[in-house]
Structure 1
Amino acid sequence: MTTLDTGLLVDDDELYLRTLQRSLARRGLETRTATTIAEALRIADDMRPSFALLDLKLGSDDSGLTLIKPLRALRADMRILLVTGYASVATAVDAIKRGADDYLPKPATADMIMRALGLEKAEAVTIESTMIPLHRLEWEHIQQALHETGGNVSAAARLLNMHRRSLQRKLAKRPGPERGPEPD
């Protein structure tokens, strides 16, 4: 086993956490899970993990970005990976500036995490399996704008630099099963 053998998984989606934890356990990694910032800090202080996987959005108000600094203070050599379904250049840059080691789009698979931790060679990567469909990215970007504006469609349209009616049309075309998974 490598020096990256214990980890902390932080996400508000408990099903995703359990599934990911089992997948990583099959690869020899011991992990503990947390669904809140307070719980994550308590567990990290107790176990001093060698790596942490943090979801960007925790619940409706919290962000995994706020965990980077205190986790880094607990253990300077901890590998910190940020995962999000709201992938954007701005959040990736912010995460790296705050001290994250890598940034992965959701859903991050165990293989993607193993590669980001340097525990698997990148030659096994297939681009098709890691790409998020464009309509999904667009939908998540719109949802992020709506969240940031408190659900105000006019304000979200201004934030997205688009006409309000165009945004309303896109919202009416919510992705269905035939076009890929529904956004969370």
Structure 2
Amino acid sequence: MSHKLTTPAAVAATLVALLAAAPASAADYVQDTGSTLVFATKYDGEVFTGTFPGFSTKLSFDPANLASGKLDVTIPLAGAKTGNDDRDATLRGSDFFNVAKFAQARYRATGFRSLGGDQYAADGTLELRGVSKPVTLTFTWTPGTAPVLAGKATVKRLAFGVGGGDWSDTATIPDEVAVSTKVVFKPAR
């Protein structure tokens, strides 16, 4: 004789049993206030830094199940700020970010690697100026009620056509741009 799920209580009991047996899923987070995204490079040997206000991050992360993780960062490029209005205008222009055609950049990673301790790596893809290239973000994870991801990456600007043409001389502006971020998270609702 087969057992049929004929009562709501039987259906509920079966669902609870199935959910309890399912592996724990990664926690889902969204970016909270206090987060920063910074880039640093040089111009004629002088270091300058800039920020991307308004960037947005979604994260699915469980240190016990790194393969299930996901990271999705949207970066509005028009708001890039370096503390120099002329430089900011140049960055928005067609030689650099070309914000009229490419309003945002996006970084996405699926799955993470452990580097030991609280250190991890995301081997993701950066889409910038219509070009998609692999970029690795190494980061630390500080759990808690407001967990923090603190990460660093190196982006080769010329691979994305940023600062090409007259600006392609790496003696004037290095090809490698250092990017760092501190993202404070709250649970996604």
TM-score, with length taken from structure 2? 0.22
If asked which structure has higher relative contact order (CA below 8 Å, sep 6+), I would say: 2
- Larger Cα-atom Rg: 2
More strand by share: 2
TM-score, with length taken from structure 1? 0.22
